[in-house]
Amino acid sequence: MRRLYLFNPESDLALANNDENYMPPQSARKLAKDLALLPLWYAEEDSLILAESYPNTEYLEWIQSILPIKVDLLTYPEASHLSDIQLSPWGWNKAINKFFKQLGLNTYCPTDDYLSALRHLTRRDMAARLLKHLPKYDFICGSSQILMSKPDLESFHSVNDSFILKAPISGSGKGLKWCRRGLDEAALKWFNRTIAQQDSAIGEPIYSKELDFAMEFEIISSSEIHFIGYSSFETNANGAYIGNKLISDVSFLEDIERKYGLKKALLQIQRDIEKLVLQFYGTDYRGCLGVDMMVCQFESYPCFRIHPCVEVNLRMNMGILAHQLYHRYIDCNSTGIYKIDYSKKMDVLYQQHLRMQKKYPLVIKEGKIVEGYLALCPVTRQSQYHAWILIE
């Protein structure tokens, strides 16, 4: 059975909206169009990627001439002729389910019950409950409180000078209200609007963050979970994703030990998280799952502690993509960065692409990238999103 991959980065937004007729914002549609070939970096061998012919066909032919990538491009008109496939979008929701059905792929779509269960499991208050069930070691930090009313919020504020409020369901890096100076009128309006729409909000203290990272898993069955690896990533001041480090799991653990002395702690958390993830999500969910974490600094001992459950993402994510990309196509003695850039103006990213190609020529040995720059998707003068890596 061949897999059919689709990059639909608006998945979280569509899941929050919960309408099969949801229309994502233009920016999300442009992101999906410009980076439609991203799945080729994590797709199974001999699978299919659903995308437009231009400019993807030419890029795919070129990249397959220099790297051992064995996938095929499938255009939208061709999809109705498929049989015996497994659908693998970036994430599931009612809108993408309807999209596949309109392509004539009804047989391979999940049930409405599955999608309803997925939406429930995706709620941030599920992650908050998971956090509460983790053992309370001295090397762990993190608390998360479900807030149902204004008195709940005021009580939470009374013991937290600075904090962050989160909507239970929102897009990745969205639905956040940072309250670095406490509770003000804007935050109160945000809170009232959120509980009116979603019945609750989540309140969490703001920590002195040293490092963003994640543990990546795949739930195979109700009794089986596979640990994919670690993901070390960057976010901006508001928590939105910027990019990933491209390193091995061994190097990541060495860095954790050298900088923070937390390798043993992290391995213990991994064992605990695996059990709880399977317990919380294994009954109703199958597929990729990422648990976002962070290393935080404190004035008291232990000075560095791990927040073991900042977010839980029930879908494919950039961390898994970066992990698979590194282990499949990058030399084990090399490291690098994976970035996604945005430009409001046309041609800016194309010119950047040309400069980087010239400045950092690509070196490939025995099917592995040793050093240099590579665009992970085609870049044209019309591109507004640009996914790329730089290896050294």
Name 329's Cβ contacts closer than 8 Å, sequence gap at least 6.
Answer: 41, 67, 69, 367, 368, 369
Q: How many of the other CB atoms lie within 10 Å of CB of 152? A: 17
All structural domains of the chain, each given as residue ranges with its CATH number in brackets, are 1-122 (3.40.50), 123-140+207-320 (3.30.470), 145-205 (3.30.1490)
- The alpha-carbon radius of gyration of the chain (Å, integer) is 21
pLDDT-derived band at 174, boundaries 50, 70, 90: confident
pLDDT digits (tens, 9 = 90+) for 79-113: 988 999 999 999 999 999 999 999 999 999 999 99
> Structure pTM?
0.95
pLDDT-derived band at 59, boundaries 50, 70, 90: very high
Nearest CA to 320 out of 217, 247, 389, 234 is that of 217
Q: What is the pLDDT of residue 80?
A: 85
Phi and psi based region of residue 121 (left: phi greater than 0; alpha: psi -120 to 50; beta: remaining): alpha
Q: What is the pLDDT of residue 105?
A: 94
User: What is the rounded CA–CA span in Å between residue 144 and residue 309?
Assistant: 9
Beta bridge partners of 371: 363
User: What is the rounded CA–CA span in Å between residue 299 and residue 304?
Assistant: 9
In order of 91, 109, 190, the CA distances from 35 in angstroms are 15, 23, 32
